């Protein structure tokens, strides 16, 4: 049942090619996946799904999770409903969970980049250790919007941190996945610049939006996935996927518009 529910999203993210084949690398290695949502339509379930799938990508895979939005107990509870025990993954060294809810850059008169630089140094230390014996590593940030709040609203400093994280995708082959709330401070020009820059940098862009026709009982929103296929001479094609979803107690149903949910 789970595969049926998720096969559209797995296909769009390129994860279906990794099923039952631990010899293959994690398909998201070396790629930046940007997940965007809005107040009316949350895309947190996409992050949960990628988190779960990252552990099944290879027996020695690992995840570095920077949590700005929720504590560990929240994710542990959500992932248990999806059949993944985060506590066990943390205890066996495959999940490094960094609680950042209380993180705050220095106050007025002190540069933000000092706090963000120390954060990146911590990230790099963990990745360096993991890289010694792990086949694939994923870096996940659960809320870029709260990262900006912690950085006292400095978009430039946040973009610098994201650029640094992207260097790890090429240096260590890490996957980098981040969730952003697109309509937070949408009217702010600097905030809009951050969104456009991240969308440009993303290898895969996932957008969760309300239905154009308004609220529906059996459909909670629509997903658009843009996969920029890159080759030696640059981008050769962009694959586009569009489908609807319904969030359930123990998972999410993804389906094409107009098809009946079983």
Q: What does the CA dihedral 19, 24, 27, 28 come to, rounded to 10 degrees?
A: 120
Tell me the pTM.
Answer: 0.88
* pLDDT for 215: 67
Mean pLDDT computed over every residue of the chain? 83
Residue 236 within a domain: no
Residue 224 within a domain: no
Each residue's pLDDT tens digit, 205-260: 999 998 877 767 778 889 999 998 766 565 567 889 999 888 887 888 888 887 75
The CATH number of the domain where 131 resides is what?
Answer: 3.40.50.300
Q: Is residue 231 part of a domain?
A: no
Tokens of 48: 């949960």
Q: Any idea what the Cα angle at residue 147 is, between residues 146 and 150, rounded to 5°? A: 85
In Å, what is the CA distance from 198 to each residue of 26, 193, 214?
A: 22, 9, 28
Q: Is residue 262 part of a domain?
A: no
Residue 84 domain-assigned (yes or no): yes
The neighbour count for residue 253, using CB atoms within 10 Å, is 19
Residue with tokens 């990745």: 127
pLDDT digits (tens, 9 = 90+) for 152-181: 777 888 888 899 899 988 899 999 999 998
The string over 38-61, giving b where at least 16 C-beta atoms fall within 10 Å of a residue's C-beta and e elsewhere, is beebbbbbbbbbbbbbbbebbeeb
Task: State how far the Cα of 221 lies from the Cα of 52, in Å rounded to an integer.
Answer: 22
In a domain, 147, yes or no: yes
In a domain, 219, yes or no: no
Domain count, the chain: 1
Cα R_g (the chain), whole angstroms? 18
Would 174 be classed as within a structural domain?
yes
Q: Which domain holds residue 134?
A: 27-214
Q: How far apart are CA 163 and CA 165, in angstroms?
A: 5
- Tell me, rounded to whole angstroms, the distance of Cα 210 from its chain centroid: 20
DSSP state of 16: G
Q: Can you list the alpha helix ranges (DSSP code H) found in the chain?
A: 2-13, 44-56, 72-81, 86-91, 112-131, 144-150, 155-171, 189-201
């Amino acid at each position: 049942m789970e595969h049926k529910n998720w096969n559209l999203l797995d296909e769009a993210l390129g994860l279906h090619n990794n099923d039952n084949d631990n010899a293959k690398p994690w398909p998201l290695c070396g790629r930046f996946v940007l997940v965007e949502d809005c107040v009316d339509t949350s895309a947190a379930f996409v992050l949960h799904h990628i988190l779960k799938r990252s552990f099944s990508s290879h027996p020695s895979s690992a995840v570095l999770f920077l949590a700005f939005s929720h504590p560990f107990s929240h994710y542990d509870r959500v992932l248990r409903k999806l059949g993944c025990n985060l506590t066990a993954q943390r205890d066996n060294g495959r999940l490094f969970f960094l609680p950042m809810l209380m993180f705050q850059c220095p106050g007025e008169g002190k540069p933000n980049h000092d706090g963000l630089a120390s954060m990146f140094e911590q990230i790099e230390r963990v990745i360096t250790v993991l890289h010694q014996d792990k086949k694939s590593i994923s870096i996940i940030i659960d809320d870029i919007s709260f990262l900006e709040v912690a950085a006292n609203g400095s978009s430039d400093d946040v973009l610098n941190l994201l650029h640094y994280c992207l260097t790890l995708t090429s240096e260590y082959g890490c996957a980098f996945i981040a969730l952003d709330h697109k309509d937070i401070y949408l009217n702010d020009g600097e905030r809009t610049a951050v969104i456009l820059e991240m969308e440009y940098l993303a290898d895969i862009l996932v957008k969760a939006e309300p239905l154009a026709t308004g609220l529906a009982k059996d459909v909670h929103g629509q997903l658009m996935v843009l996969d920029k296929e890159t080759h030696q001479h640059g981008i050769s094609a962009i694959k586009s996927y569009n489908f609807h979803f319904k969030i359930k107690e123990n998972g999410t149903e993804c389906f094409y518009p107009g098809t009946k949910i079983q």
